[in-house]
Amino acid sequence: MKLSIIIPTFNSSKVIGRALDSIVAQTFGDWEVLVMDGASKDNTGEIVKSYNDERIKFYSEPDKGIYDAMNKGIKKAQGEWLYFLGSDDWLLNNGVLKNVFEQNISSFDVVYGEAEYEHLPESFHGEWSKQNIGTNRCHQAIFYTRNILIRLGGYNLKYASWADYDVNLKWFLNRKIKKSYIGTYIAHFSFGGFSDGQPDVIFEKDREKLYLRYGFYFWTLAQRVNFTMKALAKEDSSLVRAGLRFLSYYLRLEYKFARLFRIA
């Protein structure tokens, strides 16, 4: 199977039909849908089952939130590629998936395009780079190989609303992971979703440490010094602070040496 589409739901009866309709209407048909429901109290399940399509599967049990549901979907998925759609989102047109999979993407681990969203800042659009890494990329515009998401460990439930950002940093900052920006608009990202506008205090505290952990050599020496200093200023743990202080001292010494010989 080419593609597994994972949709986390919880009391999504008012919106799930639009999401499923946009998938069923696709001219590309080599897919399965896994609706990972968090024990909804409404008739979400009845709506999903009414499609009577063996490619659409419904699983319902209590979970720890949207990213827990997405992790469960990864484990159940049979597709070579994985795609995550919010229950209140939808694919933009009937040819989107065909357009993506007709391209030569077999040599990549991650392929990403664009999401339509009327309130989305310009920094959310275009190819991801060092310059705009401060804003996340919508998972509604990203296709991951199943193998790469398993290798990356799935979504870290430590991050309540930005676990997808954490995953995206892992693949983007890793030079060994092959990624491609295709520019295609994939889906409509609905305003008011779970992570939209939701601060993730723990992620923000960890941000610079994640930059360093996932892509230490991706950054210039000066950027490594900068991130280490910012991480140090946010850290409470005395043990971690000691480690960051040592790293900061080492990097600043290396930076001075490099500047002396004009190699940084």
Which tens digits make up the pLDDT trace of 136-188?
998 999 999 999 999 999 999 999 999 999 999 999 999 999 999 999 999 99
Confidence of residue 248 (pLDDT cuts 50, 70, 90): confident
- The 3-state DSSP class for residue 159 equals coil
Residue 20 in tokens: 């499923």
DSSP assigned state of 176: T
Geometric angle at alpha carbon 55, from 84 and 59, rounded to 5°: 65
Nearest CA-CA partner of 187 in 112, 81, 136, 79: 112
Asked, for residue 209, whether it belongs to a domain, the answer is: no
Are both 115 and 236 inside the same structural domain?
A: no
For residues 174 and 245, what is the distance between their CA atoms, to the nearest angstrom? 25
Are both 147 and 251 inside the same structural domain?
A: no
State how many domains the chain has. Answer: 2
Asked, for residue 136, whether it belongs to a domain, the answer is: yes
Mean pLDDT of the chain: 91
Asked, for residue 215, whether it belongs to a domain, the answer is: no
Asked, for residue 214, whether it belongs to a domain, the answer is: no
Q: For the residues 237-259, what does the mean pLDDT come to? A: 83
Are both 237 and 158 inside the same structural domain?
A: no
Contact 23, 46 (CB under 8 A): no
Lowest mean pLDDT among 2-11, 12-21, 109-118: 109-118
Whether 263 has a pLDDT exceeding 80, the answer reads: no
For position 124, what pLDDT does the model report? 63
Comparison of pLDDT for 152 and 124, the residue scoring more? 152
Give the best-scoring range by mean pLDDT among 156-165, 194-203, 221-230.
156-165
For position 1, what pLDDT does the model report? 77
pLDDT tens per residue, range 11-39: 999 999 999 999 999 999 999 999 999 99
Whether 194 has a pLDDT exceeding 80, the answer reads: no
DSSP assigned state of 16: H
Are both 145 and 192 inside the same structural domain?
A: yes
Are both 67 and 159 inside the same structural domain?
A: yes
Asked, for residue 46, whether it belongs to a domain, the answer is: yes
For position 193, what pLDDT does the model report? 52
Rg (CA), the chain: 20
Are both 96 and 175 inside the same structural domain?
A: yes
- The 3-state DSSP class for residue 77 equals coil
100: CATH:
3.90.550.10
Kindly give the interhelix angle for 238-260 and 221-234, rounded to the nearest 10 degrees: 160
Asked, for residue 205, whether it belongs to a domain, the answer is: no
Q: For the residues 234-252, what does the mean pLDDT come to? A: 88
The burial of 254, by beta-carbon neighbours within 10 Å (0-12 exposed, 13-18 middle, 19 or more buried), is given as middle
Are both 139 and 253 inside the same structural domain?
A: no
Lowest mean pLDDT among 63-77, 125-139, 200-214: 125-139
The domain of 241 spans: 220-260
- Percent of the chain past pLDDT 90, that is, above it, reads 80
For residues 171 and 177, what is the distance between their CA atoms, to the nearest angstrom? 6
Give all strands of the β-sheet with 31-37 in edge-to-edge order.
56-60, 31-37, 3-9, 81-84, 142-145, 110-116, 179-188, 90-91
Tell me, rounded to whole angstroms, the distance of Cα 181 from its chain centroid. 14
Q: Identify the residue whose tokens are 């923000």.
A: 204
Are both 28 and 122 inside the same structural domain?
A: yes
Asked, for residue 213, whether it belongs to a domain, the answer is: no
pLDDT tens per residue, range 47-86: 999 999 999 999 999 999 999 999 999 999 999 999 999 9
